[in-house]
Amino acid sequence: MNCHFKFKGLKLFFLLAACTSSFLLHAQEVAIKTNLAYWATTTPNLQLELALTDRTTLELGGGINVFSFSDNKTLKHWLIEPEYRWWLCETFNGHFIGLHALGGQFNVGGWDIPIGRLDVFKDSRYEGYLYGGGLSYGYQWILSNRLNFELNVGVGYARIHYDKYPCKDCGTKSDEGNYNYWGITRLGLSLVYFLK
């Protein structure tokens, strides 16, 4: 019985490998990208984008920030943002519309950002997680055979669960809650490099 189970598992593995290989052979292009706007927040990030058909792609990527700053400022987080894209002309060229999801965790505080609700980070620290999704629009310019430049913006929803701490460096929780965010969920100024 145990050998039969292993044999069925082996058949399933080879079936999935064959399907995946034929999918990858169909993909005409593979690109590695990095979002320069995300780097502006000192967050290393990387995306992999695969052509699925001549007008659709799948992007898988994210970023992580583990750095410490002076004056007890923190912007530690990780974020994953997959996106399915439909290109109006051809993949990796011109206009596209995307459907994206997002998920991550954060520990943010000590930042004086006088824009909208971001001013809450000045005197408090927030820890928590978020998830959501939205729609995006973008445009990609061909710079050379292997290099493109991309702009994109996405709007949507994020459900944010947080624990609030009264000061930037103390450990006693003062509040917790949930926040339903509607607005910009994606912003990109990306360099795109083609592997094939």
Q: Which class for 21: exposed (0-12), middle (13-18), buried (19 or more C-beta within 10 A)?
A: exposed
Which residue do the tokens 């094939």 mark? 196
Average pLDDT over residues 49-78: 92
As a whole number of angstroms, the distance between CA 167 and CA 180 comes to 23
10 Å Cβ neighbour count for 194?
Answer: 16
Of 102, 122, 110, 120, nearest in space to 162 by CA:
120
Instruction: Note the pLDDT of residue 119.
Output: 56
Mean pLDDT of the chain: 85
Contact 77, 64 (CB under 8 A): yes
Instruction: Note the pLDDT of residue 196.
Output: 73
Instruction: Note the pLDDT of residue 37.
Output: 94
- pLDDT higher than 60, residue 4: no
Q: Residue 7: which pLDDT band, with cuts at 50, 70 and 90? A: very low
Cα 48 to chain centroid, rounded: 11
Which residue do the tokens 């993949």 mark? 91
Highest mean pLDDT among 16-20, 73-77, 136-140: 136-140
pTM, 2 dp:
0.79
As a whole number of angstroms, the distance between CA 158 and CA 142 comes to 32
Instruction: Note the pLDDT of residue 97.
Output: 99
Instruction: Note the pLDDT of residue 11.
Output: 52
Q: Residue 67: which pLDDT band, with cuts at 50, 70 and 90? A: confident
Q: Residue 22: which pLDDT band, with cuts at 50, 70 and 90? A: very low
- pLDDT higher than 60, residue 20: no
Indicate the CATH number of 28-195 among 1.10.530, 1.10.10, 2.60.120, 2.40.160.
2.40.160
- pLDDT higher than 70, residue 3: no
For the chain, the structural domain boundaries read 28-195
pLDDT in tens, 164-188: 888 766 678 888 999 999 999 999 9
- pLDDT higher than 90, residue 146: yes
Q: Which class for 172: exposed (0-12), middle (13-18), buried (19 or more C-beta within 10 A)?
A: exposed
Average pLDDT over residues 75-97: 96
